[in-house]
Structure 1
Amino acid sequence: MVREHTDTLVRAGSMLSAMAFALALGASACGSDPPQTASGTPGASSSGGSSGDGGGPSGDGGGPNVPDPDPSDAMFDPDHVIEIGITMAPEDWDTLRRQSRDVSELFGEGCMDGPKESPYTQFPATVTVDGTTLEMSAVRKKGFLGSASLSKPSLKVSFDEYVDGREHAGLEGMTLNNARQDPSLIKTCLAFKVFRDAGLPASRCNFAHVTVNGDDLGIYAHVEPVGKRLLERHFTDASGDLYEGQLSDFRGGWIATYEKKTNEDDPDRSELDAVASALLASDAELDATLGAVLELGTFRRYWATEALIAAWDGYAASTNNHFVYFDPASGKMSFLPWGPDLSFDPVDALGPPGRPQSVSARGAIASRLYQTPELRVAYAEAMKDLLETAWKEDALLLEIERMEKLLSPYVRDNAEAVRVATDAIRGFVTGRRATITAEITPTPPEWTFPPPAAECMTALGTMTGTFSTTWGSLAQMDPFATGTGTFDVAIPADNPQSAETLGAAVGQEAGQPGSELDMNGRAQLSMIGSFPDGTVRILVFFVDAAVFTDGGEGPYDWQSAYAFAIDYTESEPVITGMLTDGKIHFDTASREPGAPVTGSFEATVLGGGFL
């Protein structure tokens, strides 16, 4: 049976490669980067394009302030690629890029108790921005797991960490996202253009070309932090409470994961509880009760925009990647978007099979509203209005073309991968209106899928083994033709077993647009074995290029490597766990066709919970 289904290795790898990005971002439910300054928070998502600052919240959300011109506008010029050169001690750079989060802490016992402390520390550096040199700046890593990278980490630059009060062009620092999960490089800015065109508050965004100690790291998304300066542009009162939500929701067991980003010294979080309590109202009273604490018109438009651009890793689809702000002027909560680099793709990597494209309703607010018949109709009307007023295909296609041309001089070594990914976005934009309209006409579809699990993962047991295969064997879809090794499992710990039949294959990471064309991308190592109890188990490892070398090794920290264990069924692979607390080691590793790839691995397997 194993030989008959070895194509499962490739299918499972593609599935896991896609879902891992969304799951990785979800890990941030248990931890968040601290604010850089009182006026901003790092890691904010972004808005951009050539559409200007956009409007304030729509619906019943009121209008924005009209502040003095922002001196930082030039730093977010959508037609300018900022040149950033960072010089720092080589040993500091090596330490910075290897700093990582503890995956067991993020996903394991106590993961829902609240945000965990960031492991990232500041390092002194000289930073040059478009020719202006700022000595004694500070640089640190940023992000959670999905964008983690040894070779191209996301970065937070601070101009005032060591020089009190210093700004450059109206900015206290710069947030640089590595676009590691987006081969096109443009999804973040494009997504936030749509949010802005919808009249919703969102950060500004453009692009930066970054070098560190002379090494070219390529194009980054330069995004504006979500903080008081952004709030001042979109709300009449910016003194309220701002919370970051990463795998956070207004249901039992989830509220503690919201991290307060302003007014941190005030421990009062009752405003979050008030929203959760409003969701308990009857259907007849829900609109009025929830509307007293939430800007409902704005939320529906925000919710519909997430679905329209297929932001499957946002609030409504996965309770991830969002901010909520409590405006003292209105006394109500509004949502702000976050981290939409996994957008413009109809495939929902974490969603249930057969899910509709026109709506997501896993978040508690979205679910409660959508399951109320009259309010479901209100959502569909919000989507229709969005299609009529904000979704302009011709303008979006021009914006895609503009970004593509702007970045073309910087992506020559990977031009084909970028082209493939960008063309996929064009196809999405062109066909999205017809897809959505067909679903919501004459009535919106039902949502019958359960909410996400609110349980932390637990240790299931251990896996160890060895592998010997050749580069390129993954594409052959038959690991037994070239691969061998050992595969020992103790799940549970008192039931050790060894694989009776084993195969291994390795090649370029599957499942991501353009990844097979990116020779600096992750390597994918897959192993499959049949065990005495009749189980067929598969391991799929994704390994950073910096680790995939002779003598290379790394932990399962999602930047050196990450891996999943799955059991095979006659229909689809079933994920049983993710690997932690161990390492993968390569005796030999090369990307030359047919070159030997040998090594070993050991790991603890975490299962249940979010999986």
Structure 2
Amino acid sequence: MKHLFIIPVATALLFGCAGSEAPTSEVEADSASISSTKTGTSTHGNSQHSLKLEDLFPRDRLVEVDIKVKDEDWDTLRYQSRNFFEALQPKRQFGEVESPYTYVEASVTIDGVNFPRVGIRKKGFIGSQSSSRPSLKIKLNHIDKKNEIDGLSMLTFNNNQQDTSLMSQFMGYELFNAAGSPASRCALAKITVNGKNLGVYAHVESVRKHLIKRSFGSDKGTLYEGTVVDFHEEWENSFEKKFGKDKPGREHIVNVINALKGVEGDSFFGGKAAGRGWVPTSGKFDDQWFKPGFDDSAWSVGQNGAGYEREEGYESLIKDGFDFDEAMYGKATSLYLRFPFELDSIDTINSAHKVLLRMKCDDGFVAYLNGYEIARHNAPEDPRWDSVATGSGNDQASMQFTSYDLSDNRDKLRSGRNVLALHVMNISDRSTDLLAVAELQTNDSDIEQEIWKLIDEEAFYSFWTIEGLLSFWDGYSGNRNNFFVYLNPETDKFHFMPWGADCMFEKYSPLGVDRSSPRSVRTVGLVAHKLYQIPGVRKKYAEKMKALMAEHWDEEKLLAETKRVEAMVEPHLSWEQKRKVDHEKIRRFIRNRRADVELEISGDDMPLWSAAPEPPPILGGERGWGRRNRDNDKDKKEKPKSKRDEGNEKKISFWNAARTGNMSILKEHLAKEMDVNAKDEGGGTALSLATLAGHTKTVGFLIEKGADVNLSGNDGSAPLHGAAFLGQTAAAKLLIEAGAKVNARNHKGETPLDSGAAEWSEELKGIVEFISAIVQIKTDINKVREGRPKVVALLKENGGKSGRDLAGSLGGIWGAAKNGDLAKLQEALSKSADVNGHDEMGITPLSWAAMAGQKDAAKLIIKKGAKINGKNRDGATPLHAAAFFGQTEIVEMLIKNKANLNLTNEKGETPLDNASHEWKEIQGLMQIVGGILKMEVDLDRARTGRPKIADLLKENGGLRGEEFR
């Protein structure tokens, strides 16, 4: 699968982490002279030594921090920025990357206690950067080496740039500590610079020796910080040492890397094993092809290593006879493979500690051993001859073996002849690649035991489960980011600690992580991923999670705390924060979290999830290049060029042609019946890519050929969002003339106007450069800067509004649909509300009306152009919703309006499935779902309506998911 990273991650950076804000309307106070401040005096009459460490972390008030700094020094500080390419350059794999931030001298007064000569600098990685409200580090002993507060000399103030609730860090760190997982303390602070109120910051306790000693009883170990790094091979030097002896610490990191790699086992199938393959053209053999006695003599003969590659990556892995490009590209998504192999005896297998299936696979598969299913990944519940993978693979991760424990299935093996059968699936028939390489082996190593020799078991479970409960998508388990590891000399084991906690209390990650992955556990971090593949670990995680919720997740207390904090911060908000603050977001998470988690815990187990995490990202070079050149940075050697045959047009995909403006290749693809609206694996269309690149002729050509100007990508953004962000004025005009909705909203509720409205800044420039590199387009920065306001003006001329103004003026089309408020619904629709738009829960107005049984509202919405089969973010249609809740009249109306009865949701379920579950099995779940949706459920109506709906669906051709092909 190519370019998985491009669309979802790019849009997350475009719209979620830009780090730029509108200029303040406040009048800035004159800068005070540093030298005019009295040394070491307090406005309360106390000496600076009376300020204790405990005073810096109050829970009932804001710390007041007043900074005086020369104007030119403040400008120097706040305009410094971290360049994406520098931050993620290849050589970071082999050592620390120099920080772009420098200290300037300032005077700081904390709660009336003055420190006249300190150092301050900007801080932040990417998402938290801001030039108007920068996050800050204050180094008390930068000039006066004796300056400290009970041993603490470094103060950290985070700007809450990504946390519009202002509570993620304040409440998140507190929950870590309450759950017994050591973490910083956190207070809230009001920051004033030269008389100007910058608003409410999070004052986070710096992770230094005082904190380590308090948490572990000893500060004699070694502490490392992890910033988008992990325990992958040759990444040991990417961890930043904060203090302690480096040699034993690095050796310990290497030991963890080796433990995660595991010990090579003894293969009894693999290598160049001979087999047969076939691209199915019907379901004639669906229930037979994987069984031992099936006749596959007419199938193609090849060796272990099947698929195809239209660009670069898998060529060396695809073996003779098993290149299926011609049979599959543009035609099919499924491939059947059969490999016979002989075993003289199974005694060794039965006595082995583990039996493993190891797969290199992109995108999905189901494996069968002698006719029995033994493993699956990214596969639908009921795979058929024309099934597609339910998720995409990452090329780098797919080229590494992922292990599946078959120990409980070793009884399926037999002495003599055996057959391993693989159903390999692609995410799309237009995917540029497919891969399947299999290996069976015995292994006597115990990876779990090896990990716990190096990482404290109980401590890691506490850390991991609280990250999962709080949905810390930018932490270690969620993004191998924002963490510390401490080598504790008392145990000689690593302990993990959280950092950068402004991204908690959010159900979904904006970084393109598969939304079908579990929400209650994160496995992007390699330690978490490797452990999660072990059945016993999943059971213990479920046990720990249930205990954690029982003891620490008290919704009533947590909601009361949000009210208290809201009242505490409200008087101190800056002008910028008043525009953006959203306290309700964290409250929705708190109310829904228990139900979200409990839905995933099945008895005493967690849901399976085996998607392998990719190595940490690098930009600007090939992996490993930094190692080859880290000792010779001054030698500007040209990097090795790819051997790719650029003249081979087979390797230029439809989407690459659009991105580069290659009209001749586009025409060739379309002449071969390529769907002009087909999406690549990242969710991007040819039109969206051509728009981003500013290829106006290509945009016009694609529109002429029927490209949907409102078709959104994985994050809900339409081509017009991209045009606004990159200032592509000519493309924007074409899109609007072709009927693009100027107020289309993405999954975050943002319109194209939001995409182009942010003031130009160094941070925004960096993001534009980053996106251009990721999407592989050439961007003229000056044209982008000039074009953005022009597109914004064009949008406004055509009725464009911001997402916030639109939502406010509409009064909530979704709430009106849910409540059956026809007056508000009419008002919303008269003001250009998107009748097919998703709210924050990913639900359309018609689905809300269908669930709630609001027949008149549903009629009005349909009349105004709602898509009868428009899907919610989970793949469910309005008919799924009405069938589940027993809304008979709504179902009848939807069928009358030609609703598709056999569309499936992300779980492969049809509306008939939704109506067919036994009442005793579904009653409790229905109440839980109703609670999540804040919707009163009529259980009597649901109980009596569901059987009637099931009969009605069957009468009209409705099928169960297991029947439907």
TM-score > 0.5 by shorter chain: yes
Alpha-carbon distance, 1:349 to partner: 1.5
Residue of structure 1 in register with 2:491 after alignment:
330
Give the count of matched residue pairs.
Answer: 481
Q: String of CA shifts for 1:396-429, please: whole Å, max 9, x gaps.
A: 112211211110112374677556x211211111
**Quick one: structure 1 residues 174 and 456, their matched pair in 2 at CA, closer, same or farther if it must change by over 3 Å?**
closer
Q: Offset at 1:528?
A: 8.4
1:387 Cα offset (Å) = 1.3
Counterparts of 1:245-256 in structure 2, within 5 Å, are 245-256=226-237
Q: Distance in 2 between matches of 1:174 and 1:394?
A: 33
**Which residue identity is paired with 1:585?**
R
Q: AA paired with 1:116?
A: V
Aligned pair partner of 1:290 in 451, 464, 467: 451
Q: CA deviation at 1:148?
A: 0.7
Distance 1:293 1:581, change over 3 A: farther
Tell me the distance in 2 between the aligned counterparts of 1:128 and 1:122: 17
1:335 partner SS: strand
| Residue deviations 1:486-530 (CA, integer Å, cap 9, x gap) | 97959xxxxx99655399x9xxxxx99xxxxxxxxxx95564887
Q: Quote the residue 2:607 is aligned against.
A: 445
2:589 alignment partner, SS class: helix
**Which one of 173, 176, 182 corresponds to residue 192 of structure 1?**
173
**2:583 aligned counterpart, secondary structure:** helix
CA positional deviation for 1:128: 1.7
1:214-253 residue CA offsets vs partner (Å, 9 max, x unmatched): 2221111111100110011110221100010112212213
> Of 390, 395, 398, which aligns to 2:557?
395
Classify 1:555/1:223 alpha carbon distance in 2 versus 1 (closer, same or farther; 3 Å). Answer: closer
Please report how far the alpha carbon of residue 256 of structure 1 lies from its aligned counterpart in structure 2 after TM superposition.
2.2
Q: Structure 1 residue 439: deviation in Å?
A: 0.5
- Do the aligned partners of residues 375 and 252 (structure 1) sit closer, same or farther apart at CA in structure 2, a change above 3 Å counting? same
Residue in 1 that maps onto 2:129: 148
1:163 corresponds, among 144, 147, 166, to 144
Instruction: Indicate if the aligned counterparts of 1:142 and 1:156 stay in contact, CA closer than 8 A.
Output: yes
Counterpart contact for 2:17–2:162, Cα < 8 Å? no
Q: Following the alignment from structure 1 to structure 2, what is the Cα–Cα distance between the partners of residues 438 and 347?
A: 16
Aligned 1:33-432 pairs, distance under 5 A: 71-168=52-149, 171-263=152-244, 269-279=250-260, 280=262, 285-350=446-511, 351-411=513-573, 413=575, 421-432=582-593
Name the SS for the 1:342 alignment partner.
Answer: coil
CA change 1:299–1:385 in 2 (3 A) is: same
Question: For the structure 1 residues 333 and 267, does the alpha-carbon distance in structure 2 shift closer, same or farther, using more than 3 Å as the test?
Answer: closer
Q: 1:361 to 1:268 in 2, by over 3 A?
A: closer
> Which position in structure 1 is the counterpart of 2:920?
none
CA distance in 2, matches of 1:93, 1:578: 35
Residue 879 (structure 2) aligns with: none
3-state SS of the aligned residue for 1:217? strand
Does the Cα contact within 8 Å between 1:464 and 1:488 map onto a contact in 2?
no
Q: Greater relative contact order: 1 or 2 (C-alpha under 8 angstroms, separation 6 or more)? A: 1
Cα distance in 2, alignment partners of residues 243 and 363 from structure 1: 16
Please list the CA deviations of residues 150-191 of structure 1 after superposition, one character each: whole Å capped at 9, or x if unmatched: 111111112211112112476424211111111111111111
The amino acid of 2:487's aligned partner reads F
Please identify which structure carries the higher helix content. Answer: 2
Aligned residue in 2 for 1:478 = none
- The offset of 1:87, in angstroms, is 1.4
Q: Tell whether the 8 Å contact from 1:540 to 1:563 is kept in structure 2 after alignment.
A: no
Q: Distance in 2 between matches of 1:326 and 1:171?
A: 21
Partner AA of 2:103 in structure 1: Q
User: The residue matched to 1:112 in structure 2 has which SS?
Assistant: helix
Letter in 1 for 2:455: L
Cα-to-partner distance string for 1:463-489 (whole Å, 9 max, x where unaligned):
999xxxxxxxxxxxxxxxxxxxx9795
Structure 1: runs of 5 or more not aligned: 1-9, 23-68, 466-485, 491-495, 506-510, 513-522, 532-538, 567-574, 598-611
Shift of 1:595: 6.9
Find the aligned partners of 2:457 and 2:444 in 1 and give their Cα distance: 15
Change (3 A) 1:70 1:582: same
Post-superposition offset of 1:366: 0.9
Give the match's secondary structure for 1:501: helix
Amino acid of the structure 1 residue aligned with 2:224: Y
Change (3 A) 1:113 1:415: closer
Q: CA deviation at 1:346?
A: 0.9
> What is the identity, as a one-letter code, of the residue corresponding to 2:786?
F
Is the Cα–Cα contact under 8 Å of residues 21 and 181 in structure 1 kept in the other structure? no
Separation in structure 2 between the aligned mates of residue 386 and residue 580 of structure 1, nearest angstrom? 49
Task: Give the drift of 1:144.
Answer: 1.4
Q: Distance in 1 between matches of 2:606 and 2:201?
A: 38
Change in CA separation of 1:316 and 1:542 when aligned onto 2, cut-off 3 Å: same
Among 501, 524, 529, the residue aligned to 2:700 = 501
Residue 456 (str. 1) matches residue 665 (str. 2): no
Using the alignment, how far apart are the partners of 2:518 and 2:106 within structure 1? Answer: 48
> Residues 13, 375 of structure 1: CA spacing in aligned structure 2 closer, same or farther, 3 A cutoff?
closer
Q: Which residue of 1 aligns with 2:771?
A: 564
Q: Contact (CA 8 Å) 1:84, 1:210: kept in 2 or not?
A: yes
- Does the C-alpha gap of structure 1 residues 81 and 312 become closer, same or farther in structure 2, counting only changes over 3 Å? same
Contact persistence 1:300–1:379 (CA under 8 A): yes
Kindly indicate whether the alpha-carbon contact (under 8 Å) linking 1:156 and 1:173 is maintained by their aligned counterparts in 2.
yes
CA–CA distance in 2 between the matches of 1:526 and 1:344?
A: 33
* Higher strand fraction (1 or 2): 1
Q: State the structure with more CA Rg.
A: 2
Structure 2 Cα separation of the partners of residues 565 and 588 of structure 1: 15
Letter in 2 for 1:153: P
Please list the CA deviations of residues 266-285 of structure 1 after superposition, one character each: whole Å capped at 9, or x if unmatched: 58610111222222156862
Greater shift after overlay, 232-241 or 96-105? 96-105
Could you tell me how far apart the structure 2 residues matched to 1:563 and 1:353 are? 24
Which whole-Å CA distance do the structure 2 matches of 1:577 and 1:89 have between them?
41
Residues in 2 aligned to 1:381 and 1:241: alpha-carbon distance in whole angstroms: 31
In 2, the alpha carbon distance for the partners of 1:487 and 1:18 equals 17
CA distance in 1, matches of 2:779, 2:213: 42
The equivalent of 2:366 in structure 1 is: none
CA contact (8 A) 1:541 1:562 kept: no
**Structure 2: distance between partners of 1:220 and 1:21:** 18
TM-score by length of 2: 0.45
Pairs within 5 Å for 1:458-477 = 458=620
Equivalents in 1 of 2:136, 2:213: separation in Å? 25
Instruction: Evaluate the alpha carbon distance shift between residue 187 and residue 592 of structure 1 in structure 2; reply closer, same or farther with a 3 A threshold.
Output: farther
Distance verdict in 2 for CA 1:189–1:455, change over 3 Å:
closer
Change (3 A) 1:527 1:307: farther
Aligned CA distance change for structure 1 residues 126 and 500 (closer, same or farther; 3 Å): same
Q: Deviations over 1:290-338 (max 9, x none)?
A: 2221111110121111111110111112111110001101111110011
Seen in structure 2, the aligned counterparts of structure 1 residues 375 and 123 have a Cα distance that, compared at 3 Å, is same
Offset from partner CA, 1:16-48 (integer Å, 9 cap, x none): 5466579xxxxxxxxxxxxxxxxxxxxxxxxxx
Q: Quick check: 2:138–2:155 contact (8 Å CA) kept in 1?
A: yes
Task: Write the distance in 2 (CA, Å) between the matches of 1:168 and 1:596.
Answer: 57
The amino acid of 1:564's aligned partner reads I
Distance 1:301 1:528, change over 3 A: farther
User: Where does residue 26 of structure 1 map in the other structure?
Assistant: none
SS in 2 for 1:445: coil
